[in-house]
Structure 1
Amino acid sequence: MRIIVTGSHGFVGRNLVPFLKQKGHTVSGLGRFGEYTWADIDTGKMPAADAIVHLAGKAHDTKNATEAKVYFDVNYGLTVKAFDYFLSHEEIKTFIFFSSVKAAADKVEGPSLTEDVAPRPVGPYGESKAKAEAYILSRMAECGRRHVYILRPCMMHGPGNKGNLNLLYKVVRLGLPWPLGAFENKRSFCSIKNVCFVVNALLDEGCEAENGIYNLADDEALSTNELVGVICNAVGKPVRIWHMGKGLMTVAARLGDRLHLPLNTERLAKLTENYIVANTKIKRALGITTMPVSTRDGLRYTLENFNND
């Protein structure tokens, strides 16, 4: 297929584009710079395409230094631009939008997050993604028999990943003890290998998945303590987990807010909260019972690449 990938130079794009090319697809990148830019949409310079995978977006800023307007200009504004282009070109048969679980919920109520939850995003990142989803859904009837998929990945990881997993890896590699052992939690992860598998499967001409929203997650949820154990095994370090008092660590995180330290209240919440994401719907749509890459194997693949950086 001929595929336009927006945001091709981002974390997901740098992994997805080579994967799609390896599968025999022709991929054209669209972004702020490179092969094609957003200005080319308005000037008619875009290449012929069978599908658009819309990755471009403003990632969640854990330092909260990004103005809300930036999120909406990018996450909503560019989605409108890309989807309008899709609607006006009937030869393009598939549109895949990468949203986020944060468009649905900042915290998971109940055993797991499913696609039928009423969206309750918190903050400009999730709100801008939710607004983009709503725009696509409001115009879904105009798509006819074409395919439109909204994907909500949870915490993605893989080569080139930057974020909380990378921070945790650095702490463990230094041989420092993990001080948050008193917090018991379970959270879902999403290997970039599973992300690439799902996108390629949805692009297949024989795919019978219905249009709509799909969560993206690995099959098994892990606690942060279990994750620390996986990292320790990967880097050859003994597992050192301290069960410091929750109150003490909460105070330390608040101090981190003031002093701009790596451990702050938002990061503490992300590392210790329960956030289990159900992936049953996407597996049923693709006719599979398990994701091709297990949670632990996917994490080991990411950690191996951290080792090589």
Structure 2
Amino acid sequence: MKVIITGASGFVGQNLSEYLVRNDISIQSLSLRKEWNMDNNADTIIHLAGKAHDTENISADDEYFKVNTELTKKLFDEFLRSDIKDFIYFSSVKATADSVEGILDEEHVPNPKTPYGKSKLLAEQYLVSKDLPKSKRLFIIRPCMIHGTGNKGNLNLLYKIVKKGIPWPLAAFENKRSFLSIDNLNFLILHVLKDKKIQSGIYNFADDDFISTNQLIQIISSVSKKKSRLWYVPTRFIDLVAKIGDKMKLPLNSERLKKLTESYSVSNKKIKKALGINRLPISAEGGLAKTIKSFQVK
């Protein structure tokens, strides 16, 4: 089996490519930054390339639509003209909801608020609007927050806070969040590639269990062999500090505070039902612990 991957140099692309190669799948990287031609002998295209969500809100809106929407359209049109059978598009849960009440599933009516989410949704809408030949499959994957060995971002920020013995001042925020271990992502993609009985559609990718930020702090503390220090500072005071951070470009701003404390629970029942499984290989806690341990390697 030969698979074309766009965005293969990114965190997900590198990990997925290595995993698929270990499972006897041939990988071809396709860069969309210059003129490109698609290998018509490939079996599948996995479209990972895109402009990620900018938490500091300094990117121009049109950049998201140029990369996430228009490039996806062009690639999908080429796919439809080719003999390639499967197209796997990595969208985002942010294409359907920026905040979640209850548990997010694939039946949620999309209503993104950010240029990032809107650009992803427009790409989705274009893909499903095209006539798909019966011989082809289209998968729109909506992952939640992806993490894994070597991955940076908010998890690394939390790790540094705990390692230094700094108290966690956001313990008063009660939340439940979904994460996605890169190992579970790789597992799911491999099975989608190999199981031709799985039908086209939109699928959420998330770990099985929901984790609160306080639980996450405790996981980090356990891995780091540090005592967890949870401070229950009033939420109103923290909100005020974040607003000041917006204006003064401080590490804690409203966007980052939201990411750290909001509830965002995502259902993965649809993809597990399609695969005929009850649980993913790695638990949410186990996957997070593995990622945190990777931060300790110098």
TM bucket, shorter chain? over 0.9
The DSSP-based 3-state class of the residue aligned with 1:270 is helix
Q: Which residue of 2 aligns with 1:275?
A: 264
For residue 162 of structure 1, report the CA deviation from its aligned partner: 2.6
Aligned positions of 1:257-268 closer than 5 A: 257-268=246-257
Q: Which residue of 1 aligns with 2:199?
A: 210
User: Is the contact between residue 40 and residue 82 of structure 2 (CA under 8 Å) also seen in structure 1?
Assistant: no
For residue 159 of structure 1, report the CA deviation from its aligned partner: 2.2
Q: Which residue of 2 aligns with 1:127?
A: 118
Q: Which residue of 2 aligns with 1:39?
A: 35
Is structure 2 residue 232 aligned with structure 1 residue 243? Answer: yes
For residue 47 of structure 1, report the CA deviation from its aligned partner: 6.2
Q: Runs of 5+ in structure 2 lacking a partner?
A: none
Aligned counterparts of 1:162 and 1:84: Cα–Cα separation in 2? 34
For residue 145 of structure 1, report the CA deviation from its aligned partner: 2.5
The DSSP-based 3-state class of the residue aligned with 1:97 is strand
Is structure 2 residue 173 aligned with structure 1 residue 183? Answer: yes
The DSSP-based 3-state class of the residue aligned with 1:40 is coil
Between stretches 190-199 and 170-179, larger displacement belongs to 170-179
Q: Which residue of 1 aligns with 2:23?
A: 23
Aligned positions of 1:148-159 closer than 5 A: 148-159=138-149
Match of 1:97 among 62, 79, 89: 89
The DSSP-based 3-state class of the residue aligned with 2:278 is coil
The DSSP-based 3-state class of the residue aligned with 1:214 is strand
User: Is the contact between residue 154 and residue 216 of structure 1 (CA under 8 Å) also seen in structure 2?
Assistant: yes
Is structure 2 residue 15 aligned with structure 1 residue 11? Answer: no
The DSSP-based 3-state class of the residue aligned with 2:135 is coil
* TM-score between the two structures when normalised by the length of structure 1: 0.94
Between stretches 63-72 and 47-56, larger displacement belongs to 47-56
Aligned counterparts of 2:282 and 2:31: Cα–Cα separation in 1? 29
The DSSP-based 3-state class of the residue aligned with 2:87 is strand
User: Is the contact between residue 188 and residue 217 of structure 1 (CA under 8 Å) also seen in structure 2?
Assistant: yes
Is structure 2 residue 275 aligned with structure 1 residue 307? Answer: no
Aligned positions of 1:155-174 closer than 5 A: 155-174=145-164
* TM-score between the two structures when normalised by the length of structure 2: 0.97
The DSSP-based 3-state class of the residue aligned with 2:199 is coil
Aligned counterparts of 2:36 and 2:191: Cα–Cα separation in 1? 28
Aligned counterparts of 1:11 and 1:115: Cα–Cα separation in 2? 25
Aligned counterparts of 1:307 and 1:77: Cα–Cα separation in 2? 40
Letter in 2 for 1:29: S
Match of 2:104 among 100, 110, 113: 113
Aligned counterparts of 1:165 and 1:243: Cα–Cα separation in 2? 20
Aligned counterparts of 2:239 and 2:10: Cα–Cα separation in 1? 33
Letter in 1 for 2:187: F
Between stretches 53-62 and 73-82, larger displacement belongs to 73-82
Q: Which residue of 2 aligns with 1:56?
A: 49
The DSSP-based 3-state class of the residue aligned with 1:281 is helix
For residue 38 of structure 1, report the CA deviation from its aligned partner: 4.4
Q: Runs of 5+ in structure 1 lacking a partner?
A: none
Q: How many residues align?
A: 298
The DSSP-based 3-state class of the residue aligned with 2:244 is helix
Between stretches 23-32 and 6-15, larger displacement belongs to 23-32
Q: Which residue of 2 aligns with 1:138?
A: 129
User: Is the contact between residue 180 and residue 249 of structure 1 (CA under 8 Å) also seen in structure 2?
Assistant: yes
Aligned counterparts of 2:133 and 2:277: Cα–Cα separation in 1? 27
Q: Which residue of 1 aligns with 2:219?
A: 230
User: Is the contact between residue 181 and residue 242 of structure 1 (CA under 8 Å) also seen in structure 2?
Assistant: yes
Aligned counterparts of 1:66 and 1:176: Cα–Cα separation in 2? 32
Letter in 1 for 2:269: T
For residue 142 of structure 1, report the CA deviation from its aligned partner: 2.7
Is structure 2 residue 196 aligned with structure 1 residue 200? Answer: no
Percent identity between matched residues is 49
Q: Which residue of 2 aligns with 1:290?
A: 279
Deviations 1:221-267 (A, max 9, x none): 01100000001111111010100011111111111112211111111
Q: Which residue of 2 aligns with 1:75?
A: 68
Letter in 1 for 2:93: V
Aligned counterparts of 1:77 and 1:299: Cα–Cα separation in 2? 34
Deviations 1:276-296 (A, max 9, x none): 000000000011001111001
Deviations 1:129-184 (A, max 9, x none): 00010011001x33323111000000110123232222111211211110001110
